[in-house]
Amino acid sequence: MRRVPLALALAVPVGATALALAPVAGAATWGAPVRISQPDRASYSSGAVAAGPAGAAVAAWLRTPAGAPRGAGRVQLASRPSGRGWARARTISGPGASLPRTALNARGDAAAAWLNGRLIVAAVRRGPRGAFAPGRVGEAGAPVQDLTLAIDRGGRPTAAWIERRGDGFQVRLATAGPGGARWQVRSAGVMTPGPEPPSLSLSPGRGALAAWVDDGRVMASRTVDGDFERPVPMSDPDSSSPGASLGPSGAALVAWSARLPGGTRVLQAAGRPEDAPRWGSADDVGIGGAPVVGVNDAGDAVIAWGTGQAGGEQSVETGMSRRGGDWRASTIVAPRSCDCELSAVAAAVDGRGRAAVAWRRDDGTEGDAGGAATLAPGGDTWDKARIPPTRVAGSPAVAAAQTAGIVAVWAAAGAGGGVRAVEAG
């Protein structure tokens, strides 16, 4: 792999970055996992988490009572105030919920969103001691493929979702005032072709970013003054699987997989600084496909992806760019043979440059494996969280604070598995 400069692509203010496997000197290490759901025989799934300053966090998940049908899940939520332990979980939705998402800002305003059929619902909290007040965001006109959520420094939430429209997809946005007052669904500005939905990212107060494939080329569009700009081609033909991230400052990064003439797939990435009118040129990052992306205010960036195919050797690899500099390669999960499918599912970078990646090993049965790891600024080795090697219901979720700190949340498969959280800070 060649190392190439990112400075022209993502020229943002100076900062720092991190990700990790075994601890190194100066690295942040994970604490002991704690159960944040109540002990019972219910089934849990779909964990989501947001991180704030001084250890603050908000997590949400689905709880399905023992013996209830699969679609009877309700959203539960637990929060951790700065410097304290996790509060008792509470149920905030009726049955039939799905896709829970969370958001948290520096002063403790928080939000959770979820689907109930085609109805998008959100509960917003004012301050760390406020109560979550659920309200209707809007109703999708077609099946929803994904949902994301953000809340800005003034407590104003934004929700974005992707609807399946015929052979393509439509990105829709909704915004509200502080505390979730007066949700308004905005006119959709992006239509993308199939067969895969676009990658979608929200920045708290800085808009939205979507990336997708059209006729073999990766396209991207971000909101400028509230409206999606004209889509921009990012890649040469024969590209696929874009991942997108829009940082808190508005710095953007898109990564994708490009096929070389010999058939090898090379990961490429291009960045766009805050308020810049154009994207930078593409850089080579590594070999593989299906990347996930994270970027912070300082321009520290992480890209993670899986390599190989089921039945052969597979691994989880990363590329890290610190302070807008060269990409540096590292491995989280070493190559090994597996009949499963190994993939990266989330990436994030906190305000001090500590990076986090989550991955999933899918073998087609209930209770697949998953993991999360961090890499500290200046570290060389990833530090893995103590997540059991099996029985993860869905994928682990990771979140990075805008200041400092990483939180991971996962649901254990099976009756009584519960939801657990672990921190690195």
pLDDT tens digits, one per residue of 230-258:
999 999 999 999 999 999 989 999 999 99
Q: Residue 307 and residue 338: Cα distance in Å, rounded?
A: 12
Residues in the chain, how many?
425
Nearest residue to 211 (alpha-carbon basis) of 152, 259, 252, 155: 252
48 touches 100 (CB < 8 A):
yes
Q: Residue 79 and residue 48: Cα distance in Å, rounded?
A: 12
86 touches 36 (CB < 8 A):
yes
Q: Residue 387 and residue 179: Cα distance in Å, rounded?
A: 35
Q: Residue 43 and residue 136: Cα distance in Å, rounded?
A: 26
Q: How is the beta sheet containing 406-411 ordered, strand by strand? A: 34-35, 419-424, 406-411, 397-400
Give the C-alpha distances (Å, rounded to integers) separating 342 from 7, 64, 183, 347: 31, 27, 39, 15
Q: How is the beta sheet containing 119-125 ordered, strand by strand? A: 97-104, 110-116, 119-125, 133-139
Structure tokens, 75 = 């959203």
Structure tokens, 345 = 């599912």
pLDDT tens, per residue, the chain with 425 residues: 333 344 334 433 323 333 232 333 334 589 999 999 999 999 999 999 999 999 999 999 999 999 999 889 999 999 999 989 999 999 999 999 999 999 999 999 999 999 999 999 999 999 999 999 899 999 999 999 999 999 999 999 999 999 999 999 999 999 999 999 999 998 867 999 999 999 999 999 899 999 999 999 999 999 988 889 999 999 999 999 999 999 998 999 999 999 988 888 999 999 998 878 899 999 999 999 999 999 998 889 999 999 988 888 999 999 999 887 889 999 999 998 888 889 999 999 999 999 999 999 887 655 568 899 999 987 889 999 988 766 788 889 999 999 999 999 999 888 888 999 999 97
- Max distance between CA atoms of the chain, in angstroms, equals 58
Please report the domains of the chain, with CATH numbers, ordered by start residue: 34-93+157-171+184-424 (2.130.10)
Residue 18: per-residue pLDDT: 30
Phi then psi for residue 70, to 5 deg, are -55, -35
Q: Residue 298 and residue 80: Cα distance in Å, rounded?
A: 26
Q: Residue 172 and residue 83: Cα distance in Å, rounded?
A: 37
Give percent helix, percent strand, percent coil of the chain, each to the nearest 5.
0, 55, 45
Give the dihedral sign, CA 377/325/276/301.
negative
Q: Residue 150 and residue 140: Cα distance in Å, rounded?
A: 19
Helix, strand or coil, per DSSP, at residue 173: strand
Give the C-alpha distances (Å, rounded to integers) separating 306 from 265, 279, 339: 12, 26, 14
Phi then psi for residue 274, to 5 deg, are -55, 130
Long-range CB contacts (within 8 A, 24+) of 212-221 = 212/169, 212/242, 213/239, 213/240, 213/241, 213/242, 213/256, 218/242, 218/254, 218/256, 219/192, 220/244, 220/252, 220/254, 220/279, 221/189, 221/190
89 touches 145 (CB < 8 A):
no
138 touches 132 (CB < 8 A):
no
Q: Residue 80 and residue 90: Cα distance in Å, rounded?
A: 13
195 CB-side CA count, 13 A: 0
Residue 150: per-residue pLDDT: 97
